[in-house]
Chain A
Amino acid sequence: MFEHIDPRSSTPLYAQIAARFRVAIAAGELRTAALLPSVRELAARLRVNPATIAQAYRELEAEGFVEIRHGAGTYVRELAPGRRTRERARQAKALAERVLADARRTGVTLEELREAIDGVLGAKTT
């Protein structure tokens, strides 16, 4: 889940980590009441500053995805119905924006992009 966190990216590490958790929660990989790894354990596993993990967890709590219970750990909250769908939609939008920005930078037109997507999808079904 955390293989690609990149300290050199312009996105701060805590934001990258929080984003991974958001994806997992939206996809249902982390269900309601699931326990997130402790700050200590995750900091050691990812070899990042524990303050970074703590900040990621705080951001997730502020957004309403998790609940930090002091002494007990951080748990995934029960999400309101449709929240998961909305979160997935938000992530899809971010993904699309990224792809389109890359395409623009490399000079790929919208048509060429559509063709490529169809090609990839087509190849998958055959």
Chain B
Amino acid sequence: MTNVIEIDSLHYRPGKGFALRDLSIHVPAGAIYGFLGPNGSGKTTTIRLVLGLLRPQSGRITVLGDRMPDDAPKILARVGYVPEQPHLDPTLTVDELLRFQAAFYPTWDGARATQLLRQFDLDGERLFGRLSKGQKAKVMILLALAQQGELLVLDEPTDGLDPVVRRDILAALLEYVSQRGAAVFISSHLVHEIERICDWIAVMDDGRLVTEVPMEQLKNGTKRLRVAGAPATLGPTPFALFAREPATAAAETWVVGEWKPEMAGYFPGIGASLQDVIDLDLEDGFVELLRSFRGGRSEGSA
């Protein structure tokens, strides 16, 4: 299966301070790939690099088989982009914006644009600058969907929007994805939304990639364990041990990743007993993952 986006060993340092370091990302064709991370972790910068708006110091970026930023115009004809902030001319009406956009994309689907206008309940004659935040977001996603691209890149598309607008946007997005088989690269910190729609997830922190795994693996593999009688030092574990804290006088709470039910057999082997396995939702798992990633880096151990 080919990857629609492939980033290899990317380094980007715009100036003093923040930098993207050794970033490697692979977005498979047809996947809905979620990009999670705290603010300032480099999500928007990564998106800008993927769209050819920035040039990296080193590393390769391949989008839809072509190199970025060298082949940018060729690639951008097949990529629909929804930025975080409205980027369209506020003095143009919605109809004028649609007409403008249509002129640049040979794959433009006018019928879909009209249908989405109706679905989103937008008035084509209103000035873009006069629309509410939610309506602006709808227009931007409309432009990206009517373009019929094979890849959609969305930077926090539903951030700050009310739940009704968020539903409308997600529904239109998923309908498009089902019909077109397009891949989606979506960055967000709305974990619950990501949890529903993404089949792959990557986590960023401070310019580095923490992990890149299929969604099920992250969700199902991350657990909170109640363990009693474990020794202070441990050898290698079959799962990833993120954290270990005392819970009651007798037992500890362990946060682990990559857990499989068979691993319960590990505990008698070290003279401990596994009392409980508690599921963690993505948000908790995400928090634990970050905590262990940061802790591991500061201690200098894996």
Direct contact of A and B (CB under 8 A): yes
A binding-site residues for B, Cβ under 8 Å: 7-10, 12-13, 39-41, 43-52
Q: B282 in the interface, Cβ–Cβ < 8 Å? A: yes
Q: How many residues of B contact A (CB 8 A)?
A: 24
Chain B residue numbers with a CB within 8 Å of A40 are 174-175, 178-179
CB nearest neighbor in A for B194? A7
One of B67-75, B148-156, B164-172, B228-236 contacting the partner = B164-172
Do A7 and B192 touch across chains, with their CB atoms under 8 A apart?
yes
Interchain nearest-CB distance for B283 vs A (Å): 8
B220 proximity list for chain A (CB < 8 A): 10, 12
Distance between A41 CB and nearest chain B CB, rounded to angstroms: 8
B32 is an interface residue with CB less than 8 A from chain A: yes
Shortest distance from the beta carbon of B224 to any chain A beta carbon, whole Å = 12
Chain B contacts of A49 at CB under 8 A?
32, 174, 196-199
Determine the residue in chain B with the shortest Cβ distance to A43. B174
In the assembled complex, B212 has its CB within 8 A of some CB on chain A:
no
User: B197 and A39: CB pair below 8 A?
Assistant: no
The reply on B66 being an interface residue by CB < 8 A is no
Interface of A, secondary structure class, is: helix
Sample of 27 A–B contacts (CB below 8 Å): A7-B192, A8-B192, A8-B195, A9-B279, A10-B279, A12-B216, A39-B178, A40-B174, A40-B178, A40-B179, A41-B175, A43-B174, A44-B175, A46-B196, A47-B167, A47-B170, A47-B171, A47-B193, A47-B196, A48-B197, A49-B196, A49-B197, A49-B198, A50-B174, A50-B177, A51-B32, A51-B199
Across-interface contacts of B178 in A (CB, < 8 A): 39-40, 43-44, 50
Chain B residue with Cβ nearest A105: B276
B279 cross-chain contacts in A, Cβ below 8 A:
9-10
Besides the known contacts A8-B192, A44-B171, A52-B199, 12 further A-B residue pairs in the complex with CB atoms under 8 A apart: A7-B195, A7-B196, A8-B283, A40-B175, A40-B179, A43-B177, A44-B172, A44-B175, A44-B178, A46-B196, A48-B197, A50-B178
CB-based contact B196/A48 at 8 Å: yes
Known contacts: A48-B174, A49-B197. The answer to whether A8 contacts B281 by CB under 8 A is yes
